[in-house]
Amino acid sequence: MLLRHTPETNTEKTALTVNPAKTCQPVGAMYAALGIHNCLPHSHGSQGCCAYHRSALTRHYKDPIMATTSSFTEGASVFGGQANLMESIHNIFTIYSPDIIAVHTTCLSEVIGDDLKQIINKAAAEGKIPAGKRVIHTNTPSFKGSHVTGFANMTQSMVQYLSESTGKKTGRINVIPGFVEPSDMEEIKRIAAEMGVKTVVFPDTSGVVNSPLEGKFRMYPKGGTVVEDIISAGDSTATLALGRLASLPAAKLLDTKCKVPLFPLDLPIGLRATDAFVDQLRKTAGVSVPESIMVERGQVVDVLTDMHQYFYRKTAALVGDPDHLVSLVQFLTDLDMKITSVVTGTPGGPKFEKAVRACTGDETFVKSGAGADMFLFHQLVKQRKPDLIFGNTYAKYIARDEDIPLIRIGFPIYDRVGHQYFPIVGYRGALRLLEKILTALLDRQDRDAPEESFELVM
Ligand code: SF4
């Protein structure tokens, strides 16, 4: 898929997306559902949709993704999918015995208008849901939103169906980590534990989509948030929502449903956002920041100081998911890099644009939602010729055509392995990011250097 035909001049597209900078809602919903222990995600639609959702996640995480489908054929497409879902629920509990089934819709079932809540109630009334087992659902129409919206919707449904307030506080703090890698969720838990803060992190895909190879098949890997913890999230002291798009809806619902106060934060990517996360944990839990965390922070400051000369005034174009982009832009501008353009297919609204511009100023091109596609991003890269591109695997075609180094970040990354094991959040994540960015810049400098300037020490 070489893109050399992409013209440099922008033409206004009002009803057309070319090469979207997003994937479909159920992909995010399925990913969130995998973050519940012993959960089987279920796609209510045709087999083709489910095959795509599973393969998108399998290719990114390099782990087999378990999920089921209502397997719509012509009959269900015309008369609705109730019978298919009823039979699915019965079969799934009988054959695969999960603790919980998390159902999401597809474009097809959304257009038909299947009432999932009613179908689940009917299944319960007819005894198809065994005692102690649960079925939850969320609506994920893919003709609006993106995989990030789907993630947010499923996370919100966890609260809607499960979380309860008993009036007896547990003293724990909820952390909704957003659509990040399992390694990032692990790192968020590690930082909190290091600070002595008891948390409920949900959804939590660590130990699920990056589980170890043990030589035997596990339908349900060891990781994931247990259902009881999501229930007790209603009794926590507070909720930290990391990322406005992916995490805030669930946190808001916890506030209105269970009176758990929420603190919206950016994804803790980079120094400033990680500082804010650590500080909020400190204040909310009433703890002090231990020396070990201060050492990690100091190392980032040290490395950042050593590297600053290489980053100063370098330019970057970014494409990806809004929550990632906001924190990344903040980090890169803190490094004194200039941001030429920021594009996301997820509708981020004016708040997204405002958050980016608060760091970059008005010269940066910022666009989200309809029309913010990879085609537009390519045109912006052609016009503004940045030193670096940040984006997922799909950006590699643009990077190759324009001969600009690509920092792979976000979702999906199909053509590299290992990202699911190395965090980009927290101070350790910041170190990794700094190393990735500098290596890309200096590799390019080495490649382009004439013989007399090819240096051993740079
Ligand atoms: S039809 Fe809709 S839900 Fe199915 S794969 Fe396509 S965008 Fe996703």
Record the tokens describing residue 315, joined without a space: 């330019």
Rounded distance from Cα 340 to ligand 1 centre (Å): 32
Give the position of tokens 């993704």: 65
Instruction: Report the residue among 30, 54, 72, 106 best suited for mutation to probe ligand 1: largest number of ligand atoms under 8 A from its CB.
Output: 106
Rounded distance from Cα 53 to ligand 1 centre (Å): 8
Distance of alpha carbon 130 from alpha carbon 111, whole angstroms: 30
Closest by Cα among 386, 178, 171, 173 to 273: 178
pLDDT of residue 78: 87
Nearest CA residue ID for atom 6, ligand 1: 49
Tell whether ligand 1 has an atom less than 6 A from the beta carbon of residue 107: yes
pLDDT at 264 over 80: yes
Record the tokens describing residue 140, joined without a space: 């994920």
Rounded distance from Cα 104 to ligand 1 centre (Å): 11
Rounded distance from Cα 70 to ligand 1 centre (Å): 14
More confident residue, 370 or 104: 104
Distance of alpha carbon 180 from alpha carbon 267, whole angstroms: 9
pLDDT at 417 over 70: yes
Establish how many alpha carbons lie within 13 A of residue 106's alpha carbon, considering only the half-sphere containing its beta carbon: 25
Residue 267 and residue 328 in contact, taking contact as beta carbons nearer than 8 Å = no
Give the position of tokens 């399925």: 30
Rounded distance from Cα 22 to ligand 1 centre (Å): 12
pLDDT of residue 14: 81
Using one digit for the tens of pLDDT, what is the confidence trace for 201-248? 999 999 999 999 999 999 999 999 999 999 999 999 999 999 999 999
Distance of alpha carbon 20 from alpha carbon 148, whole angstroms: 14
Nearest CA residue ID for atom 4, ligand 1: 49
Closest by Cα among 447, 342, 456 to 404: 447
Ligand 1 atom nearest the C-alpha of 106 is 3
pLDDT at 343 over 90: yes
pLDDT of residue 68: 98
Distance of alpha carbon 192 from alpha carbon 79, whole angstroms: 50
- Please, which pLDDT band fits residue 11 given cuts at 50, 70 and 90? confident
C-alpha 326 chain-centroid distance: 13
Tell whether ligand 1 has an atom less than 6 A from the beta carbon of residue 24: yes
Ligand 1 atom nearest the C-alpha of 107 is 2
Rounded distance from Cα 15 to ligand 1 centre (Å): 19
Rounded distance from Cα 319 to ligand 1 centre (Å): 22
Nearest CA residue ID for atom 1, ligand 1: 107
| Catalytically active residues, by annotation | 107, 111
pLDDT of residue 388: 98
pLDDT of residue 2: 67
DSSP string, 365-431: EEEESTT-BHHHHHHHHHHH--SEEEE-GGGHHHHHHHT--EEE-SS---S-S-TTTS--SHHHHHH
Establish how many alpha carbons lie within 13 A of residue 63's alpha carbon, considering only the half-sphere containing its beta carbon: 26
Using one digit for the tens of pLDDT, what is the confidence trace for 160-216? 999 999 999 999 999 999 999 999 999 999 999 999 999 999 999 999 999 999 999
pLDDT of residue 12: 79
Instruction: Report the residue among 30, 52, 153 best suited for mutation to probe ligand 1: largest number of ligand atoms under 8 A from its CB.
Output: 52
Tell whether ligand 1 has an atom less than 6 A from the beta carbon of residue 142: yes
pLDDT of residue 83: 96
Q: What is the mean pLDDT of the chain?
A: 96
Q: How many helices (H) and strands (E) does the chain have?
A: 17, 13
Identity of the amino acid at 222: K
Ligand 1 atom nearest the C-alpha of 140 is 3
* Mean pLDDT for the stretch of residues 319-341: 98
Record the tokens describing residue 454, joined without a space: 């090819």
Instruction: Report the residue among 22, 23, 24 best suited for mutation to probe ligand 1: largest number of ligand atoms under 8 A from its CB.
Output: 24
* Mean pLDDT for the stretch of residues 345-366: 96
Tell whether ligand 1 has an atom less than 6 A from the beta carbon of residue 49: yes
Nearest CA residue ID for atom 5, ligand 1: 49
* Mean pLDDT for the stretch of residues 280-292: 98
Closest by Cα among 106, 187, 92 to 140: 106
Distance of alpha carbon 315 from alpha carbon 330, whole angstroms: 14
Tell whether ligand 1 has an atom less than 6 A from the beta carbon of residue 145: no
pLDDT at 1 over 70: no
- The pTM of this model reads 0.97
Tell whether ligand 1 has an atom less than 6 A from the beta carbon of residue 26: yes
Using one digit for the tens of pLDDT, what is the confidence trace for 92-134? 999 999 999 999 999 999 999 999 999 999 999 999 999 999 9
pLDDT of residue 346: 97
